[in-house]
C-alpha cells in the first residue's frame, strides 16, 4: 500500500493548496468539506507522481474545512490519509 506523508495545506480566503508525498508514484485526489463527511472531492489527477499538489477552490472565507488525501498506485491499491483540517483566511 502506498505510504502518505508530509501532508500540508496553504489556505487563502477562497482557495487552498494541499500538498503531500507518497513513497511510490500514485494519483492524487482530495476529499474535503466542513465536516468529516467531506461531501466534496477534487478532480482526480491520474498522473502518477510522488510529490502531490491539489488546489481547492470555491471555499468560504474564515471557515474550517476537514480533508483527507487519496492516492492510488499503478496496481490499483488505494491509500487514504487520516483527517486533517485547515481554516481559510
The pLDDT value recorded for residue 12 is: 98
Looking at residue 23, what is its pLDDT? Answer: 99
Average pLDDT score over residue span 64-78: 99
The angle at the Cα of 7, spanning 6 to 13, to the nearest 5 degrees, equals 140
pLDDT at 74 (0 to 100): 98
What is the arithmetic mean of pLDDT over 73-84?
Answer: 99
Residue 32 φ then ψ, to 5°: -155, 160
How far is residue 85's CA from residue 67's CA, in Å, rounded to a whole number? 6
Phi, psi of 19, rounded to the nearest 5 degrees: -125, 150
**Which tens digits make up the pLDDT trace of 14-69?**
999 999 999 999 999 999 999 999 999 999 999 999 999 999 999 999 999 999 99
This prediction has a pTM of 0.97
- Kindly report the CATH number assigned to the domain that includes residue 77: 2.60.40.10
> Number of structural domains, the chain?
1
Amino acid at each position: 500500500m502506498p505510504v502518505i506523508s508530509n501532508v500540508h495545506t496553504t489556505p487563502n480566503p477562497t482557495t487552498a493548496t494541499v500538498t503531500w508525498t507518497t513513497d511510490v508514484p500514485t494519483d492524487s485526489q482530495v476529499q474535503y468539506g466542513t465536516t468529516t463527511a467531506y461531501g466534496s472531492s477534487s478532480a482526480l489527477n491520474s498522473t502518477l507522481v510522488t510529490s502531490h499538489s491539489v488546489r481547492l477552490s470555491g471555499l468560504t472565507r474564515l471557515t474550517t474545512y476537514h480533508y483527507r488525501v487519496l492516492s492510488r498506485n499503478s496496481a490499483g491499491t488505494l491509500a487514504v490519509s487520516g483527517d486533517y483540517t485547515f481554516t481559510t483566511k
